[in-house]
Structure formats: C-alpha cells, structure tokens
Amino acid sequence: MEIDDIKKLALMARVDMDEKEMKEIGDSFGPILDYVGQIKEVADVSDSSYEEVADEPINILRDDVVTNKGGEYTDKILNQAPAKENGYLKVKQIL
C-alpha cells in the first residue's frame, strides 16, 4: 500500500508514526490483504442470516437506572488520570 494511504489511515486512527514505519506497515499490508482477500471468492448466499445458528443474537436489556452510589468510584478512577481538576478529567483546549 502507498505511503500516502498509510498516512491517511494513521491520521484517522490517531496514531503518530514516522515514515519508516509507515513504509514497513504499507509493505506488510500487501500479503495480509492478499490473504484475507480470498474470502471474495466465496459465493454469496442470499439467505445468510443468524437465524439457524446456535448462538442467535438476542437483545439483553436492563432498566436505565444508576446502580452505584454517586461518587463511589470517582477517586479511584480519577487517580488513574494523567491530568485532573476539581473532580474532572482535564484535557487540552478543544476550540
């Protein structure tokens, strides 16, 4: 894959990397995409659905209610944050 395409992907994925690595990744994509591309040869089946499969997806719902006490985990979780202020996570200015 061309380095310009890798640059766009890195931008979308928000991963900073140097050109050397971009080239390496681009080169490795060739064999990987060739290999995974073989699924294109599988004939499409029109009735493909999960209905006959054992683990047919089912919706799991729960009531939309708070299940813990306010502030129960706040300190524990905020202690993991690199930057915080007055009980909030602190981020760089967005606008």
Partner 1 sequence: MNTKIDLKNLNIEKANKHLKDGDFTVRELVDAYLEVIKEKNTDLNAYLEIFDKDINSQVEIAEKMFEDGTATKMTGIPIAVKDNILIEGHIASASSKMLGNHTAVYDAFVIEKLKKEGSIFLGRTNMDEFAMGSSTETSAYGVTRNPYDRTRVPGGSSGGSAVAVAADMALVSLGTETCGSVRQPSSFCGLVGMKPTYGAISRSGIIAMGSSLDQVGPMGKSVSDVEILYNTISGKDPLDSTSLTDEFKSKFDKAPLKKKIGVPRDFLSGGGINEEVLKNFEESCEKLKKAGYEIVDVTSKTMQYSLAVYYIIMPAEVSSNLARYDGIRYGFNIDAPNLYDVYAQSKGKGFGKEVRRRLLLGTYILSHGYYDAYYNKALKVRDMIAKELLDIFSDVDAIISPTVPFTAFPLGDKMDDPMAMYMCDIFSAPANLAGIPAMSVPAGMSKEGLPMGLQITAPYLREDILFTIGKDFEKLV
**Residues interacting with partner 1, by CB under 8 A?**
1, 5-6, 9-10, 12-17, 21, 25, 28-29, 31-32, 35-40, 42, 44-45, 48-50, 52-55, 60, 62, 73, 76-77, 79-83, 89, 91-94
Distance between CA atoms of 25 and 3, rounded to whole angstroms? 9
Distance between CA atoms of 6 and 62, rounded to whole angstroms? 41
Q: What share of the chain is helix, strand, coil (3-state, %, to 5)?
A: 45, 5, 50
Least Å from the CB of residue 20 to partner 1: 11
**71/82 with CB nearer partner 1:** 82
Distance between CA atoms of 1 and 66, rounded to whole angstroms? 48
Least Å from the CB of residue 88 to partner 1: 11
**60/66 with CB nearer partner 1:** 60
Least Å from the CB of residue 81 to partner 1: 6
Distance between CA atoms of 81 and 87, rounded to whole angstroms? 11
